Amino acid sequence: MLSKILATIALILALVTVGAAYSSRTAVTLRQDQQQQRYWPRQGTYLNGSYRSGTWNYSGNRASYGGGFFGGGTGFGK
C-alpha cells in the first residue's frame, strides 16, 4: 500500500516538474501583474520594476540592492 502511494507521488512529481519547466512559468509575462511570485532569476538577472495595472513601473536608474553595488571578488564591502 505504502509503495503504491509513493509511486503515485513520484508520477505526480514528475508531471508537475516537467510541466513547470516546459510552460516557462518563471519567464516574465508581458503586461501581467503578479510577476514577482513566479519569476526565478537566471544568472543573477533581477527585475528592475514591476507591473501595475498592466504598465511597467520603472524602479529607476540606480541599482540599489543593499546600499549600492560593491562588486564581487575580494573587494566586497570596501
Partner 1 sequence: MSSVTKTTTYRFVDWSTYVAVFAIALVLLAGMISPIFQRQIFNERLEVSPGEVVEFKTWELKPQLIGAMRIDVDASFTNNRWTTYELRVLDEQGNLIVSALKQAWVESGTWREGGESGTWREKDVEAELDLQAGDEPETITLAINILDYTDTSGQPVEGESVRFHVRVFNGAIDTRYLIPGVIGTGGLALFCVLSTQNSGQDTIRKFMKDSDIGGRAIMGGDNNLICCRLKIVADETSPRVLNVNLWLTDGYGENIYDDLKRVYLTFHRDEDGDIKRTTGNFKQYFTLKRRGSYGFYIEVTPDAPVDETVLTVREKVQTVTGVSVVEIARD
Residue 43 DSSP symbol: T
58 binds partner 1 (CB under 8 A): yes
d(C-alpha 7, C-alpha 13), whole Å? 10
Q: Minimum CB separation from partner 1 for residue 18, in Å?
A: 4
Q: How many CB atoms lie within 10 A of CB 62?
A: 8
Residue 40 makes contact with partner 1 by CB under 8 A? yes
What is the enclosing helix (H) or strand (E) of 55?
strand 55-58
Distance CA(45)–CA(63), nearest Å, equals 12
With binding defined as CB under 8 A, does residue 43 bind partner 1? yes
75 makes contact with partner 1 (CB under 8 A) = yes
Q: Which residues bind partner 1 (CB under 8 A)?
A: 2-4, 6-11, 13-18, 20-32, 40, 42-49, 55-56, 58-59, 61-63, 65, 68-75, 78
